[in-house]
Amino acid sequence: MLNAGSKRITIRDVAKKAGVSAQTVSRVLNQRPDVAPQTREKVLQAIADLNYRPSGIARSLRLKSTGTIGLIVPDSSNPFFAELGRAIEKTAFENGCSVILCNSDGDLERESFYIEALVSKQVDGLIIVGANRASRKNPILDGSLPVVVVDRDLNGERFDTVLADNLEGGKKGTSYLIALGHERIAFIAGPSGLPTSAARLRGYRRALEEHGIAFQKELVVSGDFRYQGSYRAMEKLLKLTPPPTAVFAANDMMAVGAIACIRDHYLRVPEDISVIGFDDIPLASFLNPKLTTIAQPRGEMGRMAVTMLMERLQDRNLPARRYVLPVTLVERESCSRRNQ
């Protein structure tokens, strides 16, 4: 083994020690069958003796693969995306791949910058979480690089897609509140223009319609999928006359912001206002009261995204696929029956 500061061991050094050609060492490294067993053993012993580590760049040029996946998330501080990214990384590792993580912060210019940077690093494919519709306009995403989109619905135009059933989740949450006797139900939506947010809002409206409750525009306010934006949105709702008796936040982080605002106005959850979220982040079960929410199968979404990418790398001619996974209602303590 070489000491620190010694020259880098090369394939020629291995060849010299094993008494073979550099081409023979290359065939062993690439697991070619046209090498005699005794010769292969000598090469492997030389590799071990010299502690030789093949160059990742050179190997990628030979195999046309770097064994890396680019992952772009819109908000790495959001526990939902953190958990989803963890599932993606775990599955990639199990498949012998490493992951390069980039945080777009929900900014399209920044997302485009990272797409170009990852492509320049010759990643084998991209997994883009929370991709905006405008992502599809990026000229780099022309089909030459395998791409899987997670948690945004681009209608499967060019990309493999995996997402949760956001419309059904919007219906489930709203119907649950209606079953508890609530009719004046507010909805704190995510950023305008995001398909995920729009689908959850459609589910909310559909549930109201199916239960014969009139939709009231004043009860829908926009948030930003973060605590601060939801706090401000909840303040608007509390100024209504009368205020809502229940609030459906389009993600758990906004539900937390809404609860904080309600309490700061000396009201109680759920006694005065019931609150339900969407995602089921780990924090949801540790709040006081524990948050009732719509759970997305983030682990399965992450595993499926990597599996789809691996399949795409094996067969570039597969048609674009779109998987919508079911969501579940998780009942906890933040919702109660409406007092008549």
Render pLDDT for 249-270 as a digit per residue (tens, 0 to 9). 999 999 999 999 999 999 999 9
Residues 265, 177 share a domain: yes
Range of 31-40, 73-82, 83-92, 179-188 with top mean pLDDT? 179-188
Residues 239, 307 share a domain: no
- Looking at residue 103, what DSSP letter applies? E
Residue 156 in domain: yes
Range of the domain at 104: 68-165+298-325
Q: What is the number of structural domains in the chain?
A: 3
Residues 116, 85 share a domain: yes
Residue 6 in domain: no
Q: What is the mean pLDDT of the chain?
A: 87
Calculate the CA 193 to chain-centre distance.
18
- Looking at residue 283, what DSSP letter applies? G
Residue 91 in domain: yes
Q: What is the mean pLDDT of residues 327-332?
A: 97
C-alpha to C-alpha distance for 95 and 229, rounded to whole angstroms: 39
Residues 35, 131 share a domain: no
At 340 the pLDDT is: 57
Residues 285, 172 share a domain: yes
At 64 the pLDDT is: 61
Residues 288, 216 share a domain: yes
Q: What is the mean pLDDT of residues 302-328?
A: 91
> Model confidence at 286, in pLDDT bands (50, 70, 90)?
very high
Is the pLDDT assigned to residue 329 strictly greater than 50?
yes
Residues 73, 56 share a domain: no
Report strand pairing: 185-189 vs 220-222.
Answer: parallel
Count the Cβ atoms, other than its own, within 10 Å of residue 211.
12
Q: What percentage of the chain reaches a pLDDT higher than 90?
A: 56
At 62 the pLDDT is: 47
* Lowest mean per-residue pLDDT among 13-27, 126-140, 158-172, 247-261: 126-140
CATH assignment at residue 315: 3.40.50.2300
CB 331 within 8 A of CB 294: no
> Model confidence at 112, in pLDDT bands (50, 70, 90)?
confident
C-alpha to C-alpha distance for 194 and 108, rounded to whole angstroms: 12
Residues 284, 178 share a domain: yes
Q: What percentage of the chain reaches a pLDDT higher than 70?
A: 88
> Model confidence at 26, in pLDDT bands (50, 70, 90)?
confident
C-alpha to C-alpha distance for 310 and 211, rounded to whole angstroms: 44
Is the pLDDT assigned to residue 4 strictly greater than 60?
no
Is the pLDDT assigned to residue 140 strictly greater than 70?
no
Residues 144, 232 share a domain: no
Residue 308 in domain: yes
At 191 the pLDDT is: 84
C-alpha to C-alpha distance for 110 and 205, rounded to whole angstroms: 33
Residue 340 in domain: no
Which residues contact residue 311 at a Cβ distance below 8 angstroms, ignoring those fewer than 6 apart?
A: 318
C-alpha to C-alpha distance for 193 and 157, rounded to whole angstroms: 18
